[in-house]
Amino acid sequence: MRAVLLDAHKTPLRYAEDHPIPGADGGVILDVTACGVCHSDIHVVDGDFGKAPPIILGHEVTGVHADLGPVMMYAPWGCRSCAECREGNEMICSHSTEAGLFTDGGYAEKIRIPGIEYLTPLDGLDPYDAAPLACGGLTAYRSVLKGLDRLRQRGSEARALVIGAGGLGQYAIRFLRLLSDAHVLALDLSESKRVTAVEIGAHAAAERLDDGDRFDLIIDFIGAESTLRIAADHINKLGTVAVAGLAGGTIPFGLGPVPLEARFVASVWGSRAQLDELLAVARREPSIVQPVEVMALADAELAHQRLRSGDLRGRIVLDIAGAR
Ligand SMILES: [Zn+2]
Ligand SMILES: [Zn+2]
């Protein structure tokens, strides 16, 4: 089958025409239609996390299942027996084997999945534009939910800040507008991303904040020390800072360094149930399914280079089935 492989850390991805088809091995084989390119893929290439190569990357997967038809795959596969898994939070299972990060993923024509319980019917959603909902969309959705109750409590007084208006930030802006009456501000150093943020629904976008700006929910899609500092300085009492960015920054926490009753949460991916919920929202409100840029599977390395350089407007999706 056609597949793209990572042979060793920090080396270019390799396209192969004749990679062996995986065996079902007690699971099911999915014919992949499309696979999103996520920033986490870059981290696996760099050796920051994930399984040591060789590995096939890709965890934002849509495909066609023999019985279910067009589906989206839930990629965080947990152990199914620990407390987190029993509560449906497989994405924080200590023994999880996420597709494309710890086991072979969707940069290939076929992928082995542990069982059909990890597949959700697309029911009319476009398999290309919807693909990034599996990680980018779901991660943004969960982070918005972390502070949504407080935003709704505050009604039109509520203010939300999205730090980083790239792919995930753009999803968050749309979810915030759809699910709350909060005033939504996007913070980004890139002028083009600020323009995009306002185009898709942010009330405003800024390069820096004023001293007195306060927010009830701040979502940090960067996670650097500098952005966490901004979050700690501008969160309201009783507000929530949700960190979803992987830059690895830290800040002091305790009674004193952060506003009273503020909550800080490291938000990770989303639960199995939240993926179903998100797809239901997307079917009801098609505007949250953002158009993506489609590239050929053989151009996966080029897609990674563009992601590294920031040379893109939203998400890139690899065309595996050649249906676009
Ligand atoms: Zn588990
Ligand atoms: Zn991802």
pLDDT at 312 over 90: no
Task: Determine which of 43-57, 172-186, 201-215, 300-314 has the lowest per-residue pLDDT on average.
Answer: 300-314
pLDDT at 117: 95
pLDDT score of 311 more than 80: no
Domains contained in the chain, number: 2
Q: Are 252 and 286 part of one and the same domain? A: no
Distance from the CA of 269 to the center of ligand 2, in angstroms?
A: 8
- Here the CATH number for the domain that contains residue 262 is 3.40.50.720
| Cα–Cα dist 230/210, whole Å | 11
Q: Which of 224, 243, 266 delimits the end of a domain?
A: 266
- Using the 3D structure, point to which of 225, 249, 266 is the last residue of a domain: 266
Q: Is the confidence at residue 66, as pLDDT, over 80?
A: yes
Q: What is the pLDDT of residue 319?
A: 98
Q: If you average pLDDT over every residue of the chain, what do you get?
A: 96
- The answer to whether residues 159 and 260 belong to one domain is yes
- Please report which confidence band the pLDDT of residue 313 belongs to, taking 50, 70 and 90 as the band edges: confident
Identity (one letter) of the amino acid at 216? D
Whether 279 and 209 share a structural domain = no
Q: Domain residues for 158?
A: 140-266
| Residue 138 CA to ligand 1 centre (angstroms) | 19
Mean pLDDT, range 20-34, rounded to an integer? 96
Instruction: Using the mean position of ligand 2's atoms as its centre, give its distance from the Cα of residue 24 in Å.
Output: 24
pLDDT for the residue 179: 96
* Residue 237 in domain: yes
The band of 74, judged by pLDDT with boundaries at 50, 70 and 90, is very high
CA of 39 to the centre of ligand 2 (A): 6
Q: What is the pLDDT of residue 314?
A: 82
CA 113 to ligand 1 centroid distance, Å: 16
260 with 276, same domain: the answer is: no
Question: Which ligand is the nearest neighbour of the Cα of 35?
Answer: 2
Note whether 102 and 30 are same-domain residues: yes
Q: Is residue 324 part of a domain?
A: no
pLDDT score recorded for residue 198: 98
- List the shell of residues around ion ligand 2, using CB closer than 5 Å: 38, 40, 135
- Model pTM above 0.85: yes
Peptide bond into 54 cis (omega under 30): yes
- Do residues 182 and 248 both lie within one domain? yes
Whole-number Å distance between alpha carbons of 125 and 203: 28
149 CA → ligand 2 middle, Å? 25
d(CA 127, CA 224): 33
* 239 and 301 together in one domain: no
13-47: b or e for each residue (b if 16 or more CB lie within 10 Å)? bebeeebeebeeeebbbbebbbbbbbbbbbebbee
Residues 95 and 38 in one domain: yes
Res 269: pLDDT = 97
Note whether residue 144 is domain-resident.
yes
Supply the pLDDT for residue 291. 85
Whether 124 and 7 map to the same domain: the answer is: yes
Give the pLDDT of residue 176.
Answer: 98
Q: Are 116 and 9 in the same domain?
A: yes
What is the phi-psi region of residue 233: left when phi exceeds 0, alpha when psi lies from -120 to 50, beta otherwise?
alpha
| Residue 207 belongs to some domain of the structure | yes
40 C-alpha to center of ligand 2: Å?
A: 5
Nearest ligand, measured from the Cα of 40: 2
**Has residue 33 been placed in a domain?**
yes
Q: How far is the CA of 259 from the centre of ligand 2 (A)?
A: 31
The residue type of 244 is A
Residues 7 and 127 in one domain: yes
The tens digit of pLDDT for each residue in 244-303 reads 999 999 999 999 999 999 999 999 999 999 999 999 999 999 989 988 999 999 999 999
